[in-house]
Amino acid sequence: MVGAAKKISSVVVLIILIEVLYLDVDGTSWRAGASTCFSFGFPFRSVSFGAATGEMGPVPEDEWAAGLEADPILLVIDVSVALLLGLVLVQCVPTTALVLLVKGCVLGSVTGGALSLLAEMAPESLVSWAVVIVVMFALVPLTIYIISLGCKRQTTIIMVLSALTVFTFWRSLFLVEGLYDGFMEDDVLLDLPMVLRLVAVLLVPVCECMVIMLLHKKVFPKSWQKRRSNYTQTGTGQQGDESADNSDRTGRGRRVRKAALYTVLLAIAFYVGFHFSILREMRNDPFCVSEAIWSELERQEISLDSWHSENWPDSPEIGWNASFAVEICADDANKYHAWISKHILIPWIEVTIEQIETVGQVGESQSPGEE
């Protein structure tokens, strides 16, 4: 029972950390007291609070604090993803691995948030920069090394903890900065340049932990033996608990099937949520549909400098699926019929564009007959 409670509490803490780090901030400036909208809910941000009015000065609270607003379908999907993710972690990940995972995430989140808060409160203070340097290059690697003591495959554990710490540090850094600046870039994603930078940053704590390990073994051999023996006893105790837990697992095959079922359901929930998030973007952001039309024009090699729509729907009918038609005009001569649709079985927006006959073309085709 103790092992099960420890695993469930670790999963709950991990899901809460994911929710906090995935918070989205959209507004102008929190420092100036202007309006800000917070969106949360992993992974589709189904719940929002406030509204971004775009005003640069202070805005009265009754003009922008619209309260909580939720997209019901996406809210159900976000809750389903959290539950299924928790079930997958409980079924598939050992307790010791979950504890290490939570420790690395907490270390990175707390450190990144605290240092970012310190930098925002005292951006030009030499003391704050000294604290940042000491924490990043001394305390964090030392903490990672202490956590890894007594673990099997200590080098691997150090690399995993460093990766978790760096990633959550990076995310919490942007989160606190977004809270202060009123805007958090949703495009802060793991593209190739960002991955390379994170790998370069990851090498710093790994190398420092290796140096600490070398010093601990060579320079302080007696303290190393004592420390190692203590953690070995702790590790054997954990192994004894794990062996007891393993002896109580009678339906291993059933657990594997459950984990596979939860994983499939999780993938389905992600896909359905992705579909409805696209529908929400089509409903709220006209640039989403415009970009899809531009992409189809480029695919058909239709060269247009600019175009506009004469019958763009104010609120297109969007339910489980979306479909509507618009007429786009370009160069005051060419007109095209565009049919936009998004079906739940197709993971992208479908756009069909056909050129329709313009008034000028009709007049030219009738002129020879009139003569």
The closest of 303, 291, 370 to 336, measured between CA atoms, is 303
pLDDT value of position 60: 55
Asked, for residue 360, whether it belongs to a domain, the answer is yes
Is 88 within the bounds of a domain? no
Is 60 inside any structural domain? no
Mean pLDDT check: name the lowest of 72-81, 138-147, 300-309: 300-309
Minimum mean pLDDT range among 52-66, 75-89, 155-169, 194-208: 52-66
Give me the mean pLDDT over the 312-318 stretch: 64
Looking at residue 353, what is its pLDDT?
86
The residue range of the domain holding 300 is: 286-370
pLDDT confidence of residue 268: 94
Q: Is residue 35 part of a domain?
A: no
User: Residue 77: which of 264, 259, 276 has the closest Cα?
Assistant: 276
Tokens 């990851």: give the residue.
202
Instruction: State residue 315's pLDDT score.
Output: 60
Q: How many domains does the chain have?
A: 1
Q: Does residue 269 sit within a domain?
A: no
Complete edge-to-edge strand list for the sheet that includes strand 24-27: 24-27, 36-40, 47-49, 68-70
**pLDDT at position 310:** 66
Model confidence over 3-47: pLDDT tens digits? 788 888 999 999 999 998 888 877 544 444 455 677 888 889 898
Residue 327 in domain? yes
Note whether residue 184 is domain-resident: no
Residue 341 lies inside a defined structural domain of this protein: yes
Predicted confidence (pLDDT) per residue in 225-235, tens digit? 444 444 444 44
Mean pLDDT across the chain, nearest whole number? 77
pLDDT, position 225? 46
221 versus 180: which is more confidently predicted? 180
Query: What pLDDT, on the 0 to 100 scale, is given for residue 197?
Result: 80
Question: Strands (DSSP E) along 161-312, which ranges?
Answer: 308-309
pLDDT per position as a tens digit, 78-97:
999 999 999 888 888 888 88
Q: What is the pTM of this model?
A: 0.76
Quote the CA–CA distance of 151 and 97 in Å, as a whole number.
10
What is the arithmetic mean of pLDDT over 187-201? 71
d(CA 264, CA 255) in angstroms, rounded, equals 14
pLDDT in tens, 99-155: 999 999 999 999 988 988 888 887 777 888 888 889 888 899 999 998 988 788 888
- From CA 191, how far away is CA 61, in angstroms rounded? 37
